[in-house]
Amino acid sequence: MSGILYFVPTPVGNLEDMTFRAVKVLKEVDYILCEDTRTSGILLKHYEISKPLKSYHLHNEHQATEKVIADLKSGQDIAIITDAGTPGISDPGYLLAKAGSDNDIEMICLPGATALIPALVVSGLPNNEFLFAGFLPQKKGRQTKLKQLAEEKKTIVLYESPHKINTTLEQIKEFFGEETKASLSREISKKFEETKRGTINELIEFSKSKTLKGEIVLIVNNSI
């Protein structure tokens, strides 16, 4: 009988955001896949979890997936976690989920931490319907993607890194218009959590006035 593959969300900031069930699952599986053993090691030590950690990240997931599926077929229960948030959402995990589906592996994703929902809720922008676009393409296809998103009437959720946020805000202004409403959240669930709301021009002014740190969630809507 095949084992179970668990997708286990981990805190995006405060370690106390870990659920009781997540801790229980991580203590019971045979081993844990993670992006960075050093980062995940801190989490596991905090919750006194002493299971083997194996690297599974964007650079090795193609090669590692086959071995993981073989271990699952042999009856082992395996959990996958990422440095922060829910595996498979702009993080490693999709390829493994696809392989699990193709091989009829039982898969369970625990509900838990993610950066996009808290940022969307506090944005004050319409959230009954929204489009999660993740990270924009780095270069190729970036302008095409921006043009496509500019036609969208739903609220759009984007992830961005601190060193690219100024460029992204300027591009949103160019493609969406300067009256576009937006919200920028950073350091979600951490000590210096911060959200700035306003027009895209106001967010550009805010972003350029200080050095932003931490992963950023950008919420955009140009239909209101």
Examine the pLDDT at 139 and tell me if it is beyond 90.
no
Tally of residues, the chain:
224
Structure tokens at 185: 């959240």
Q: Which residue has the tokens 């592996």?
A: 105
Homologous superfamily of 115-221 in CATH? Tetrapyrrole methylase, C-terminal domain (3.30.950.10)
pLDDT confidence of residue 224? 85
The answer to whether the pTM exceeds 0.95 is no
The pLDDT-based confidence of 1 (bands split at 50, 70, 90) is confident
Distance of CA 123 to the CA centre of its chain: 18
User: Residue range 211-218: average pLDDT?
Assistant: 93
> pLDDT tens across 34-87, in order?
999 999 999 999 999 999 999 999 899 999 999 999 999 999 999 999 999 999
- Mean predicted confidence (pLDDT) in 91-120: 96
Domain ranges of the chain: 5-109, 115-221
Considering the chain, what is the average pLDDT of its residues? 96
- Between CA 140 and CA 155 the distance in angstroms is 24
- Chain-centroid distance of CA 72 in Å reads 25
d(CA 134, CA 80): 20
What is the spatial distance between Cα 60 and Cα 163, in angstroms, rounded to a whole number? 26
Q: What is the pLDDT of residue 58?
A: 87
- 24 pLDDT higher than 90: yes
Exposed, middle or buried by CB within 10 Å (0-12, 13-18, 19+), for 102? exposed
pLDDT single digits (tens) 162-181: 999 999 999 999 999 999 99
Instruction: Give the number of other CB atoms < 10 A from CB of residue 126.
Output: 16
Residue type, 83: D
Q: Which CATH number fits domain 5-109: 3.40.47.10, 3.40.1010.10, 3.40.50.11720, 3.40.50.2300?
A: 3.40.1010.10
Q: What pLDDT does 110 receive? A: 98
Between strands 78-80 and 31-34, the pairing is: parallel
Whether 216 has a pLDDT exceeding 90, the answer reads yes
State percent of the chain over pLDDT 70. Answer: 100
Cα dihedral: 52, 55, 56, 58 (round 10)? 160
